[in-house]
Amino acid sequence: MKVKNLKPTIGFIGAGNMGLPMIKNLIKKGFQLKVYDINPKITKRLDKDNIKTVNNLRAVANNNFIISILPDTQNVESVFNTDSGIISYLKPGTIVIDMSTISSSSAIEIGKVLQKKQIEFVDAPVSGGVKGALNANLSIMVGGKKETYKKSLDILNSLGENVIYAGKLGMGQVFKMCNQIMVGSHIQSMCEAFALCKSKGGDLKLLKETLIGGSANSWMLENLGNDVINKNEHAGFRIDLQLKDLKLASEAAFESGVPLPGLSLVLALYLEARAHNEGKNGNQSLFKTYDRMSNQK
Ligand code: NAD
């Protein structure tokens, strides 16, 4: 006798660096997916991997869940909050999980628009990068109704190991911004310490090992310290993406009237890096900004 697949169906929007490994993990877990990406070159590649693709938003709408992971606020708004978007095709009761990093106020707005049509929505941005997406061990920060979070857990647990209910709608994005503020500051302080040590002729490897053993240790030092020492610019999380996230945090701080002077400093340093054509480099490439400022090689 054929066993019926009781797992909910998923329409997945955005098969980029993050989306594609997430799609593969969901398929591995037995979910049935239809994937839409605006770039036909990407969907053609998926067809070769026998992943079911569709070529418009209408065709992806008829599912129990919709997951999106798109570059920025404008892309997510164009999909969910415009007349030409998916909204008119979604049925009441559908659950939308947006995993992109976007503005918190925009996530709240999209949630309200969808709610008017009895469509549930959570903002669920992620941390952990492409590696986390590949290994299904992302951190996922969820904002929205707790009931919707609970209904989404089976899916989210297939993508991450640390799935946190952050609070009301938009709070997932707020948590992600806080994450990015600390990511930026940790990289900046690491580059700053290394710049001083280098200027005095110190041994950077020894410095790294020394700091790892004490209260200055951080995830950044452990994971990106060697890249700074070896001048490795390779992209993990790109400078462009880091800048996008710092800008979102800066706008949110402005909305709330909260001065965040450290964030402003880090944002300016990343702008300096982008002005030197390093947008596509990994965010640890901030060490080159310090090299330029101190005329060191
Ligand atoms: P990406 O550019 O690699 O992929 C985005 C995909 O969305 C592309 O394939 C693009 O064609 C598609 N797309 C754009 N607009 C669309 C639309 N209107 N309809 C359908 N498809 C559309 O980006 P990414 O690196 O996968 O990042 C996605 C999101 O995840 C971003 O918000 C980013 O900030 C966040 N994020 C990325 C990382 C990372 O390391 N790359 C880590 C954490 C969070």
Mean pLDDT split into 10-residue runs, the chain, 297 residues: 75 97 97 97 91 96 97 97 91 98 98 96 96 96 98 98 98 98 97 97 98 96 95 90 97 97 98 97 96 92
Rounded to whole angstroms, the Cα distance separating 3 from 230 reads 54
The vertex-202 CA angle with 198 and 205, nearest 5°, equals 90
Rounded to whole angstroms, the Cα distance separating 279 from 141 reads 26
Give the single-character DSSP code of 81: S
Contact assessment for residue 80 and residue 111, using Cβ atoms and an 8 Å cutoff = no
Identify the CATH homologous superfamily for domain 9-169.
NAD(P)-binding Rossmann-like Domain (3.40.50.720)
Residue type present at position 244: K
CA of 69 to the centre of ligand 1 (A): 5
Cβ(269) to ligand 1 under 6 A? no
Q: What is the largest CA-CA distance in the chain?
A: 74
Q: What is the per-residue pLDDT for 144? A: 98
pTM above 0.85, yes or no: yes
Q: Which of 176, 198, 208, 288 is catalytic?
A: 176
Helix, strand, coil tally for the chain in percent (to 5): 55, 15, 35
Length of the chain: 297
Rounded to whole angstroms, the Cα distance separating 57 from 19 reads 16
Task: Please give the C-alpha separations between residue 269 and each of 1, 223, 249, 292, in angstroms, as whole numbers.
Answer: 63, 21, 15, 11
Contact assessment for residue 270 and residue 185, using Cβ atoms and an 8 Å cutoff = no
H or E element that contains 256: helix 239-256
Rounded to whole angstroms, the Cα distance separating 228 from 215 reads 20
* Choice from 74, 162, 239, 241 to test ligand 1 binding pocket (greatest atom count within 8 A of CB): 241
Contact assessment for residue 93 and residue 118, using Cβ atoms and an 8 Å cutoff = yes
Cβ(130) to ligand 1 under 6 A? yes
7 noted as active-site residue: no
Burial label, 84 (beta-carbon count in 10 A; 0-12, 13-18, 19+): exposed
Rounded to whole angstroms, the Cα distance separating 123 from 104 reads 8
Q: Name the residue ranges covered by the structural domains of the chain.
A: 9-169, 175-294
In this structure, which CATH number among 3.40.640.10, 1.10.10.10, 3.40.50.1100, 1.10.1040.10 belongs to the domain 175-294? 1.10.1040.10
Task: Please give the C-alpha separations between residue 75 and each of 14, 36, 135, 140, 250, in angstroms, as whole numbers.
Answer: 10, 13, 26, 20, 20
Contact assessment for residue 106 and residue 77, using Cβ atoms and an 8 Å cutoff = yes
Q: What is the per-residue pLDDT for 1? A: 57
Supply the residue whose CA is at minimum distance from atom 40 of ligand 1.
129
Strand partners, 33: 10
Which two structure tokens, joined as six digits, stand for 152?
């989404």
Residue 54: partners with Cβ closer than 8 Å, 6 or more residues away? 34, 35, 36, 60
Rounded to whole angstroms, the Cα distance separating 109 from 87 reads 13
The vertex-130 CA angle with 128 and 134, nearest 5°, equals 100
Residue 271: partners with Cβ closer than 8 Å, 6 or more residues away? 243
Strands 120-123 and 95-98: parallel
Cβ(19) to ligand 1 under 6 A? yes
Helix (H, G, I), strand (E, B) or coil at 143: strand
Q: What's CA 279's distance to the chain center, in Å?
A: 16
Supply the residue whose CA is at minimum distance from atom 4 of ligand 1.
16
